[in-house]
Amino acid sequence: MRVSIDEDGCVGAGQCVLAAPDVFDQRDEDGIVVLLDEAPAPHLHDATREAAVLCPALVIHLAE
pLDDT 10s digits, 2-29:
999 999 999 999 999 999 999 999 999 9
pTM for the predicted model, two decimal places: 0.95
Banded model confidence at residue 55, pLDDT cuts 50, 70, 90: very high
- Domains, the chain, in order of start with CATH, read 2-63 (3.30.70.20)
Using CB atoms within 10 A of its CB, is residue 42 exposed (0-12), middle (13-18) or buried (19+)?
exposed
* Contact criterion met (CB below 8 Å) for 23 and 35: yes
**Can you give the pLDDT at residue 30?**
95
